[in-house]
Chains A and B, each alone.
Chain A
Amino acid sequence: MNKFKQNFMGLGLIKLLIYGFFLLFLIIPLLSVFLVAFTDEPINVFGSLVSWEQMQITIDQLKNATLDNFKAMFTYGSYFRGLINSLKLSLIVSLWVLIICIPIAYGIARTKMPFKRTISALCTVPLVIPTFISAYAFIIMFGRSGWVTYIYEKMGGEGMLIDPYSMTGIAIVQIFFFFPYALWPMVAAFKISDISLEEASRNMGSRGWLTFITVTFPLALPGMLSTLLVIFAVSFSDFGTPIILAPNDLNLIVVDAYREISGFFNWGGAAILTVIMIAVAGVVYWLQNYLLKDKNYDVLSGKPKQVKLNKNKALTIPLTIFSGIVVLIPILAMITVFLQSIATTWGRDPLPSGYTFDHYRTIFTSSLGNIQNSLVLAGGALILSAVIATFVSYFVVRQRSTTLDFMTTIPLIVPGIAFGIALIQTFNTAPLQLTGTALILIIAYSIRRLPYMVRSTVGTMRAIKQDIEEAAVSLGASTLTAATTVVGPLMLPGIAAGSILVFVTVIKETSVSILMAPAEWAPMSLAIFQNVLRAEYYSAAAMSVILVIIVLVLQAIANKLSGGNKSHE
């Protein structure tokens, strides 16, 4: 066998390993959770492969499979209520986000509203904050002893302005912290819709607002529908807000699934909820692709033309005020968390009664472990996903491996809690008992964030022409040497930017952490969650501030890296 083939064998082996990794930790868990929905008890997939006895048991389990869980799901019960409530919540949130975003997006894309730059910058703030922290911030604002409630009562109101522990509370948190996901695509849609069509409409005598309703808005509609679906999916999969805010009598599918598995060890129940969650998320994802493919996007793909910005003060000033209020709420929430973290005590008053750094001191003495855990777990996930993503992008770009391309998009669709449940069930028993180890946690984080990493590395890989690699080989380098001395260094900026993104999202990660992290590996997010549950709000606040600061700093570095990368090209 010649050397060229040997090198190919080397790469082929890596490809096989990557397939094995996805099969083991993504495909089999998802399939197995699907089977458990029928068998009602965990099946030991890997055990069946190594032991004949276990195989027999599994076969018996499959023989005794029932549709009971499916029946339970769809006869009117708590599961079904959970699904309906979750769908309702996601629909409400996505519609409100759309309504809120239309004026802001129009303001940013098409007008010269005052403070446009400041507002655009502040609109990114909610993206940085994990939802369980925003949910918790709402409690200390709107809760019984929150400052909003205080002001409300002073103004003559009774009780709470909004009960944070309710469907409304959850919806409001999600609306104000998810709207940026919809805002930027909508700004883009408004920017590139064809101005000449609007001018034609005006030319035919239509007034400004009529033009907006009859021309501008319908043209931006397909884009809006697709962003509506994005918000729907984000809201449906969100675990952080409902787990903090959902009252016991409110069934939501993500919370139900979590309680079934971590409270009652009801494998079958958790499995059916997981299957339903994945199905809903899958349908939403499919709809979104369908919309993007089949709608007429001529307008949106047209070249952006010079937009005449609306300067009418009667329009721009109300727009600024509206946008200001929308961005103010998340910022107030963060300020509240910060104040709580440095408060001695904060009762039913507009401001804390005194200030101290004690809570930070406590954290750095007693909870340093959580910070360490977060950093170690995120670091592990970073390394694992960087290695996998680098090879995956090589196979996707150079060998056009569509299977791998598809596999790395699956984690985008599967909600975190669903993926966590699938992994717990699959790796619950010997021979591959990984549940409760740091390893499975790191693997779960990596797979969940791999799509972002792959997007980043595929981008850089595409930018490296095949010629450059071939040049190295023609100069005598083996494919491996060419990869390490030429392709590797050129991919480094992309890998670095993607790595930081993975690191940041792992630190922010809620669902997998809360579901899977063992006590000795509790990361910051789990610690904050437990503190909130124990009503230890001050240390939760201090930990949240530290988490947000870590995220902000890393995000800034990532932006700089990816920005620097672009200017380099």
Chain B
Amino acid sequence: MGSVLIEQLRKDFSGLTVLQDINLDIKEGEFFALLGPSGCGKTTTMRCIAGFETPTSGTIKIGDKNVANLAPNERNCGMVFQSYALFPHMNVFDNVAYSLNIKELKKSNFFKKAGVYTRMLNSKIVKYPQHIERKVMDILEYVELTEHAKKLTSELSGGQQQRVALARALVMEPEVLLMDEPLSNLDLKLRHTMRNTIRRIQQDLKITTIFVTHDQEEAMSMADRIAVMKDGKILQVGTPTDLYSNPNTPFIADFVGTSNILSGKVVGSEKGETIVQIGNQQIKSSAQTDKKDVQVIIRPENINVLNGAPDNFGNSFEGTIHLATYLGSIVRYDVRVGEHQLLIDTTYESGDSIKKNGSTIRLGVSPERVLLI
């Protein structure tokens, strides 16, 4: 198992810079997600680690080894492709055994080599040795595919194919496991199951895993740490809770969860709290800033509806409900405050009444929950 260290990685494609200033320090055994919208460079970053793209500049270290001069087949990076990329002419067992065959091929003498080659073309002619047989069956048992070993991959369901791809990558005992949008081809329900499966396996084997996704929920629920990328740059690296509670850009505030983002001007400070003017409203924040023009960020669940309760939140306003959306455990209100629009999430318990559109409510936000960027 290895750590991955990336320094000043840059990648140009025919004059176009698709990656720049990429610095990452991924620790041994960490589950690390590269999160961002499509075209942000997350897949290119992963392909640079795997060796399928050659960086324009910068260094990549896996373990203590600089991999700049290593071909993709020498990097020992297990990779799970978005399309799974299973070999369609081989059965499940042969697919999983592929890397073990390759290892045999490297060690053997000429005649043994010929045998292994023949086996890779047709495993019915040359049998697998015991140690490969056992290793493949062990990993197949681990991903619960024992009874499908002799099936062609096209006969399997999407979830099973996914597990074959995972088993095939794991059996080579890679230093790093790379996964490129591995869940995007699965339906919603299966995706949730696979999330748990992948997380369980990762923690069991303590294998350093880098996971590319555009789905923030996926990243938040699985990863130890997340790097959010946009336009070929890394915007922020942190734990899911870090990113959620302290986003460093409005983009992340919006991309990771939902946020109310308002532009305002700092007009002064009072008892350690910053006062920001937004339109004709003033709001207090416990965040400190040197800037004059700021983005004010408030999460929908941090705005409270004061059903006649005393106003001890520090900030309070009056608003009109424009639209109420019932989402099961929560109700989301779209509220007009002055000329601004705010989203507010309130927990819903059975028996609660949902407020009517057009009704007026009082809202409270504590200054600690008001972020300034």
Contact = CB atoms under 8 A, between A and B. Distances in A.
A467 B73 contact: no
A485 B99 CA distance: 12
Nearest to B174: A474
A481 B105 contact: yes
A467 B81 contact: yes
A472 B81 contact: no
A567 interface: no
A474 B71 contact: no
A68 interface: no
Contacts of A470: 50, 52, 72, 79, 81, 85
B72 A473 contact: yes
A490 B117 CA distance: 16
Contacts of A3: 71, 73-74
A467 B85 contact: yes
A489 B121 contact: yes
Nearest to A488: B121
Nearest to A3: B71
Contacts of A484: 117
A4 B53 CA distance: 12
Contact of B71 (A7, A471, A472, A489): A7
Contacts of A490: 87-89
B87 A486 contact: yes
A472 B52 CA distance: 12
A204 interface: no
Contacts of A7: 71
Contact of B99 (A4, A475, A486): A475
Contacts, number: 84
Interface in A469-495: 470-479, 481, 484-486, 489-490
A332 interface: no
A4 B51 contact: yes
A474 B78 contact: yes
A489 B89 CA distance: 8
Given A489-B89, A489-B121, A474 B83 contact: no
B172 interface: yes
A472 B87 contact: yes
Given A474-B77, A489-B121, A4 B71 contact: yes
Contact of A481 (B52, B78, B102, B168): B102
Contacts of B76: 476
Nearest to A470: B52
A2 B72 CA distance: 11
Contacts of A471: 79, 81, 85-87, 168
Interface string A188-223: 000000000000000000000000000000000000
Contacts of B88: 468, 490
B172 to A, nearest CB: 6
Nearest to A482: B73
Given A465-B83, A470-B52, A475 B69 contact: no
Q: Which of B50, B81, B178 has the most CB of A within 10 A?
A: B81
A476 B87 contact: no
A477 B85 contact: no
From A2, A468, A484, name the one whose CB has the most chain B CB atoms within 10 angstroms.
A468
B212 interface: no
Nearest to A490: B89
B48 interface: no
Contact of A476 (B81, B99, B117): B99
B73 A476 contact: yes
Contacts of B106: 476
B168 A475 contact: yes
Contact of A485 (B72, B74, B120, B169): B120
B355 interface: no
A27 B117 CA distance: 39
B83 A477 contact: no
Interface string A3-18: 1100100000000000
B98 A478 contact: no
B60 to A, nearest CB: 14
Nearest to B74: A3
Contacts of A465: 83, 85
Interface in A254-294: none
B87 A474 contact: no
B190 interface: no
Contacts of B83: 465, 467
A474 to B, nearest CB: 4
Contacts of B50: 470, 474
Contacts of B168: 471, 475
B172 A476 contact: yes
Contacts of A486: 87, 89
Contacts of A476: 73-74, 76, 99, 102-103, 106, 172
Nearest to B77: A474
Contacts of A479: 73
Most central of A2, A3, A473, A484 by chain B CB within 10 Å: A473
Nearest to B72: A473
Given A4-B51, A7-B71, A475 B85 contact: no
A4 B68 CA distance: 11
A470 to B, nearest CB: 6
B72 A4 contact: yes
B70 interface: yes
Contacts of B52: 470, 473-474
Contact of A474 (B70, B73, B89): B73
Contacts of A472: 87, 98
Nearest to A474: B79
Given A468-B87, A471-B87, A490-B89, A478 B73 contact: yes
Interface in A451-466: 465
Contacts of A2: 69-71
A487 to B, nearest CB: 10
A485 B105 CA distance: 12
Given A475-B102, A475-B172, A476-B172, A468 B85 contact: yes
Contacts of B89: 486, 489-490
A478 B85 contact: no
Contacts of B77: 474
Contacts of B71: 2-4, 7, 473, 478
Nearest to B71: A4
A485 B81 contact: no
Contacts of B78: 474-475
B51 A475 contact: no
B106 to A, nearest CB: 8
A476 B102 CA distance: 6
Contacts of A474: 50, 52, 72-73, 75, 77-79, 169, 178
Interface string A246-258: 0000000000000
A417 B98 CA distance: 50
Interface in B25-57: 50-52
Nearest to A569: B88
A465 B105 CA distance: 25
Contacts of A475: 73, 78, 98-99, 102, 168-169, 172
A489 B83 CA distance: 20
A398 to B, nearest CB: 13
A63 B172 CA distance: 68
Contacts of A485: 117, 120-121
The 7 closest A-B pairs by CB, nearest first: A4-B71, A467-B85, A471-B85, A475-B99, A474-B79, A476-B102, A485-B120
Given A474-B77, A489-B121, 12 more contacts: A465-B85, A471-B79, A471-B168, A472-B98, A473-B72, A474-B50, A474-B73, A474-B79, A476-B102, A485-B117, A485-B120, A490-B88
22 contacts: A4-B71, A465-B83, A467-B82, A468-B86, A468-B88, A470-B85, A471-B79, A471-B87, A472-B87, A472-B98, A473-B72, A474-B73, A474-B169, A475-B73, A475-B98, A475-B99, A475-B169, A476-B102, A476-B103, A477-B73, A481-B102, A489-B121
Interface of A: 2-4, 7, 465, 467-468, 470-479, 481, 484-486, 489-490
